[in-house]
Amino acid sequence: MPHPLSPLGIAHTLISLAPVVAGLCGFVRFGRIETGSRAGRVYLAGLALSVFTSFGLSSVVGVNPGHVLGVLALLAAFGGTLLVPRLRFLGRLGPYLKTFGLSFSFFLLLVPGINETLSRLPAAHPVATGPEDPVVKTALFVWLLLFIAGFVLQSVRLSKTRPEGDDRIGASTP
């Protein structure tokens, strides 16, 4: 086995599955990660734990690109959740920015996951050799296209959820 997982690596992988599943549940049920839902709360907690446990993992000394992506994912998720709603001057852009931040965090969460999965599985003969492998680059490009298409669909859905008489784009009924 070319890349064995340490006990922390196994724990990190299992922890990282929670926000992936929770995020997917949110996308299926609400069309986005809805932080007021159980799935949304699991997503945010799992994302934070996933990023924090990643700092104990590294094949190089110091901070690696996966760590940076994790911090950016946290900033996007918690910025969209905690900061954007307080910035009243954003007006009707607020719901879009919140949705973008959470969706972007989900996108970033899976970038290292895609690389690691393709570089480790199947264990005897992994599909790819690392982040520079054309298979990984193609998978990440497809993932980027899915993210863009998903956010466009979310934006269209947000624009259609405003109640009668409310001219704010993205305003929804309680």
Task: Note whether 47 and 73 are within 8 A (CB).
Answer: yes
Task: Note whether 70 and 19 are within 8 A (CB).
Answer: no
- Tell me the percentage of the chain whose pLDDT exceeds 90: 72
Tell me the per-residue pLDDT of 2-19, one tens digit each, with 9 for 90 and over.
556 788 888 999 999 999
- pTM of this prediction? 0.87
Query: Please, what is the Cα angle at 78 between 140 and 9, to 5 degrees?
Result: 55
Task: Note whether 171 and 92 are within 8 A (CB).
Answer: yes
Tell me the per-residue pLDDT of 69-97, one tens digit each, with 9 for 90 and over.
999 999 999 999 999 999 999 999 999 99
